[in-house]
Structure 1
């Protein structure tokens, strides 16, 4: 399963929704599910819902972070029984945030809600995997911490390092080599079949030498004979 894009609560979104993940899981009947994740994050409760869908599934869940698991995507990643990160991938963890408007009382209420989200949803999603204590995890969340694959393994947010998948660089020498192989394959066949049609230039002088003291007209006649000679030899050897 590939979870690529922004995590959204809207069904019409082309990103990742808990409903789409649930529908996909309902159609899977296997003992192991490999989830490929690449996302900048998104809706926190959608992320938590997807985390719980994966966590409560009976299959072994392997999370492969293909590029970035940031914000809510890192919450989803924590649901994996095994989390694999190539060396060139990253994770970002932080406290929940939102847009807010209103008077002082409204803003205080929003701040209080964010505190609850952080303690009840965000913090708990990482706590079972983090190797340190709760206060250290809180500090990392405060800092909007960006982590390399090696750092994730050290902190317990990932289990395995994998070699990055690199596309071989196309260079001119390799292209020429391939081109030469193809040309040699086909031009070689043409050249081999054409060898019987190739005549040395000595054939024409031999014909011309048959004319004793050729005049200008005789030279043209001799050249015509030479041309006929070459043509007949080619036709005769086909």
Structure 2
């Protein structure tokens, strides 16, 4: 696999093994590459967009020289990149290939494009459980006269062929199968899918921390599945004992079980709230129907006191129904009732039935102007 990496660079053909704007994205996610000795192993870390490698090349090569001189042969390679320049990725790979021992690879949240090709030089490659792997055809921007364009197009076709062969040899898939997959565009795989298809050798039980910047990078790359940043509850679970007690879970409940119970409780709470709202709406509708019927059909109350009666019916539908049922229809005030509706002396012993029978207009006025007196009549009526 290692002998198939390309070592050609041409100024007329800029090939970025990626569909995004490498130059623009590299400003927000610059290439970061380091190499240092960790015991008997060289630890190399690559992150950010693979662009402007020349800014890091001299220092990186110096670090590699020192590590090799110390006798270290094996490498652990960490990759978390959306990809970038094919040629720069190849130069980085050539530096790593200088080590004579085993190259053990680890993938973070994103191993894509030229990053996925870098992963091919590893003897083994493990990805985070929530990591995503993406590969596709090399892409290029060709400029120049017709001779230059024809020459560079041939180079691009050769690169595509060699990459297709490299992926096929790594995975065991045929070149026709690789062609069929990437001819449709970017091929995005979960860590599990990448392992099942042979691009990587294992999946870690650990999840990579997903930051807001990492999420933005997935969006910029056109990933179909944008990872969700882990919440404080998921990452820290400081109040786990309190949650376990409130949710009535066993003391040894896992974070996943706690989160599932919280989600279920939240869903139930939402259902209860929705039911309560529906019941309140239905009750108000019943109250309005009751009062409107008393106004328009039964002629027991007048429209100017509708809101007060609706409020009363909403608070006590059964009691208000009973009051309205017992009330007679509104009669014209008679001369013997001293003003028809104006409270008069001598009525201090009148009951609710007396007002309903003798002066319903006065009763309506009392409800509006003296609700305390009406409440007293109502209480005497229901408690006698």
TM-score normalised according to structure 2 size: 0.40
**2:163 corresponds to 1:117:** no
The Cα of 1:161 is off from its aligned counterpart by 0.7
Moved more, 123-132 or 38-47: 123-132
Match of 1:12 in 2: 55
Which residue of 1 is the match for residue 226 of structure 2? none
8 Å CA contact retained: 2:136, 2:186: yes
SS across alignment from 1:87: coil
* Change in 2 beyond 3 A, CA 1:103/1:176: same
Three-state SS of the structure 2 residue aligned to 1:22 is helix
Q: What is the aligned residue count?
A: 173
Q: Distance in 1 between matches of 2:160 and 2:107?
A: 23
Pick the structure with greater CA Rg: 2
Q: Does 1:147 align with 2:189?
A: yes
| Higher relative contact order, structure no. (Cα contacts within 8 Å, ≥ 6 residues apart) | 1
1:23 maps onto 2:66 in alignment: no
CA distance in 2, matches of 1:23, 1:125: 29
Q: In 2, are the aligned partners of 1:51 and 1:75 still within 8 Å (CA)?
A: no
Q: Which is worse superposed, 33-42 or 46-55? A: 46-55
5+ residue gaps, structure 1: 178-238
Q: Does 1:61 align with 2:96?
A: no
Where does structure 2 lack aligned partners over 5 or more consecutive residues?
Answer: 1-43, 210-229, 242-384
In structure 2, do the counterparts of structure 1 residues 150 and 21 end up closer, same or farther at CA, with 3 Å as the change threshold? farther
The aligned residue for residue 114 of structure 2 is 72
Q: Could you tell me how far apart the structure 2 residues matched to 1:53 and 1:126 are?
A: 21
Q: Which residue of 2 aligns with 1:87?
A: 129
In structure 2, relative to structure 1, the CA distance for the partners of 1:111 and 1:166 (3 Å cut) is closer
Shift of 1:127: 3.4
Tell me how far apart the structure 2 counterparts of residues 24 and 140 of structure 1 sit (CA, whole Å): 39
1:102 Cα deviation (Å)?
4.9
The equivalent residue for 2:45 is: 2
Written as runs of structure 1 = structure 2, the 5 A alignment for 1:150-169 is 150-165=192-207, 169=231
Paired residues for 1:146-225 under 5 Å? 146-165=188-207, 169-171=231-233, 174=238
* More displaced 10-residue stretch of structure 1: 167-176 or 93-102: 167-176
> By how many angstroms is 1:33 displaced?
2.0
Q: Distance in 2 between matches of 1:166 and 1:137?
A: 28
Q: TM-score, normalised by structure 1?
A: 0.61
Paired residue for 1:44, among 60, 71, 86?
86
Q: Which of residues 152, 155, 168 is equivalent to 1:127?
A: 168
Tell me the C-alpha RMSD between the 2 structures: 3.0
